[in-house]
Structure 1
Amino acid sequence: MPSSTSSTSTAHAISPDSGTHWSAEGAWRVAEGIHRIPLPLPMDGLKAINVYVIETPDGLTLIDGGWAITEARELLDRCLREVGYGFGDIRRFLVTHVHRDHFTLATVLGREYGAEVALGLGEKPALELLNDENLDRNPFADVLVTAGAREVADQWVAAQTDEKPDLSLWAFPTTWLDGDHRIEVGHRTIDAVHTPGHTPGHFVFAEQQEGVLFAGDHVLPTITPSIGFTVPPPATLPLGDFMASLAKVRALPDLRILPAHGPVSPSSHQRVDELLAFHEHRLDLSLVSLAGGARTAHVVAQELPWTRHDRAYTELDLFSQGMASMETKAHLELLVAQGRATRTEDADGVIFTAAP
């Protein structure tokens, strides 16, 4: 949503492993025994998700799986065959988080071919909600109402189809990842690091000997991941969680970033520093807005610039307006936790006021 401090846009980024646009088709070698395969995201501004393939003597481990759509499945099959493998060689998926472009193709292929699917334990409430037979409304509507965006919530609900989630895409994983720990992947030892923020159960995977960080959506090289847009119940302080997780990754050695979206990038330390500075600036801008009086997150969002082009809130599409309101609420809640603002609740949502 909001622009980051990266000087290169996602739309024009060249990845050093391929020498071409980062979303170009192929199984691109990023290190010995590791390939990056971009899979398509139709109707999504990000264009693609990078799935990473790690070769081992016993078969393949994939970091993320892609979105369970025909185009992505066929492309993954084709690219795996380019490097001498097929779906039957996949032994395990290490999924960074529960969003559909990371999780759903992993769970489909895992079920079909008997591969392990590992996911962070913090994602369990989201899967429980999606598998609830009584789910009959958009689960984000109440979150938008608390952000003061009732009109946006009503439009989201009106745009929702009557179709239930396809539960074949949202099966529970075979393994829950719980807390920081190490995973043996062939001859490699990978550090599974819990990094809540973008989602409660987000994990990154660090292979320190190779010097790479499978960063999921936690550290993206050209954009900032959305904060506050998670399946209810929402985290109390998602931005606080995210910034603490960034600090945790900053404490690791400086690693090459292998992101879910965007090009392979040289320095996790540099990018983490940029992301932390970016959100500190957004906090300051949010506080400036509160200096004008008590406001909901929806009102503050309308006073902030959005995307790398500093667009006005009114220039955003309906979905992005809802995302902006939820992300702004995450910033305002952190200001309250820091003692820089106060909050009260009424029928119009949570009202935030600058602290004296």
Structure 2
Amino acid sequence: MEPGAFEVAPGVHRIPLPLPNDGLRAVNVYAIADGDELVLVDSGWALDEARDRLEQALGSIGHGFESVSRFLVTHAHRDHYTLGITLRRTFGSRVSLGIGEQPTLDAVINGQVEGQLADLVRWGAKDMADRMREGMKKRGGPQPDGYELPDEWIRGTADIKLGSRTLRALPTPGHTAGHVVFLDVESSLLFAGDHILPHITPSIGFELVRQELPLGDYMDSLRLVREHPDMRLLPAHGPVAESTHKRVDELLDHHRKRLDETELALGQDEATAAEVAGRMGWTRHNRKVSEMDFFNRMLAIGETSAHLDVLVRDGRLRASTVDGVTRYLA
């Protein structure tokens, strides 16, 4: 990951910030200079290394932290949200976040993890729920990691006036319940957060407060973006791409195929999401769940559950829940 500020459009710079111990390696923060105002889309993770890199990058384009009037945050994951909260305490920048993130953010701040533990049990992964619970006990309970509420909740589709530039906030639930993207229609730019990534599919279905049908929400959100004019894709991870539509079509096709693969993996058995996930290949290397680290195993099982639930909605499978564990049947 090369540090710095890289111009991707007039007045818009991509600033990659480090993600230690994360396979993604970097998160892109976008600095939008509009007259005297500097607005950042996403903020990075509240780490000393990320803060230093951001300060240096802003300095290279003639700004400092005191120049940042506002953070427009696509969703509340720590690599997008927490550095903005840290900088707000010193410099008074405003932080804006989609209203759909409120239940999860409240759960994070108040250490309410029981919903996520119950999801793991429902998916047939009680051993993982027990391990999470034991780990939290050793740490003295859930860790909010510096989370605080934003200054402003973005409610529904909203136009955000910066100066000469107007961004349209568009709710795109799926990766998280309150994910939003920001469209600069006049400049044909889409600040996509984790909704649309150029090389990978964002995780679906693993949150402290899970939506009823996260994959259904995600595919609907992809179709919603597809209804807008094609724009240059400015993702939170990976390089800039020239066509949002092209990548949306690829993601929709991926999930349609993945639904078929999930149904095939279940076959004529009755099985939990964890059992079905264990029969499938993961990532482009077709890895087994058993070969993954603990966190990525949880993501894989949660995503399998999200696909199974859509198959149930579509009448392709049946489901029954006994003692908190859901089992699926053709």
Which runs of 5 or more structure 1 residues have no equivalent in the other structure? Answer: 1-22
Aligned pairs for 1:307-322 (under 5 A) are 307-322=283-298
Match of 2:147 in 1: 170
SS in 1 for 2:76: coil
Does 1:187 pair with 2:182?
no
Contact 1:153 1:322 in 2 (8 A): no
SS in 2 for 1:320: helix
Match of 2:37 in 1: 59
With over 3 angstroms needed to count, the CA separation of the structure-2 counterparts of 1:320 and 1:138, relative to structure 1, is farther
Contact 1:53 1:63 in 2 (8 A): yes
Does 1:225 pair with 2:202?
yes
Superposed displacement of residue 136, structure 1: 6.9
SS in 2 for 1:140: helix
Superposed displacement of residue 155, structure 1: 2.2
| Structure number with higher relative contact order (C-alpha < 8 Å, ≥ 6 residues apart) | 1
**Which letter maps to 2:20?**
P
Aligned pairs for 1:299-338 (under 5 A) are 299-338=275-314
With the length of structure 2 as denominator, give the TM-score of the two structures: 0.96
Contact 1:156 1:319 in 2 (8 A): no
Aligned pairs, number:
329
Contact 1:183 1:190 in 2 (8 A): yes
SS in 2 for 1:169: coil
Contact 1:227 1:238 in 2 (8 A): yes
Which runs of 5 or more structure 2 residues have no equivalent in the other structure? Answer: none
Superposed displacement of residue 140, structure 1: 2.4
Superposed displacement of residue 229, structure 1: 1.1
Contact 1:29 1:35 in 2 (8 A): yes
Match of 2:223 in 1: 247
Match of 1:17 in 2: none
1: distance between equivalents of 2:83 and 2:134?
28
2: distance between equivalents of 1:220 and 1:156?
29
Match of 2:15 in 1: 37
Match of 2:79 in 1: 101
Residue of structure 1 aligned with 2:94, choices 100, 116, 125: 116
Superposed displacement of residue 51, structure 1: 0.2
2: distance between equivalents of 1:110 and 1:31?
27
Contact 1:39 1:51 in 2 (8 A): yes
Match of 1:142 in 2: 118
Match of 1:280 in 2: 256
**Which letter maps to 2:292?**
L
2: distance between equivalents of 1:114 and 1:164?
30
SS in 2 for 1:352: strand
**Which letter maps to 1:323?**
L
**Which letter maps to 2:101?**
E
RMSD: 1.5
Match of 2:175 in 1: 198
Return 343-352 or 95-104, whichever deviates more. 343-352
Aligned pairs for 1:156-167 (under 5 A) are 156-160=132-136, 161-164=138-141, 167=144
With the length of structure 1 as denominator, give the TM-score of the two structures: 0.89
Quote the sequence identity (%).
47
**Which letter maps to 1:182?**
D
Superposed displacement of residue 121, structure 1: 0.3
Does 1:270 pair with 2:246?
yes
With over 3 angstroms needed to count, the CA separation of the structure-2 counterparts of 1:237 and 1:295, relative to structure 1, is same
Q: Deviation per CA, 1:268-308: give whole Å up to 9, x if none.
A: 00000000000011100111122231111001001111011
With over 3 angstroms needed to count, the CA separation of the structure-2 counterparts of 1:237 and 1:129, relative to structure 1, is same
**Which letter maps to 1:239?**
L
1: distance between equivalents of 2:328 and 2:62?
57
Match of 2:271 in 1: 295
SS in 1 for 2:261: helix
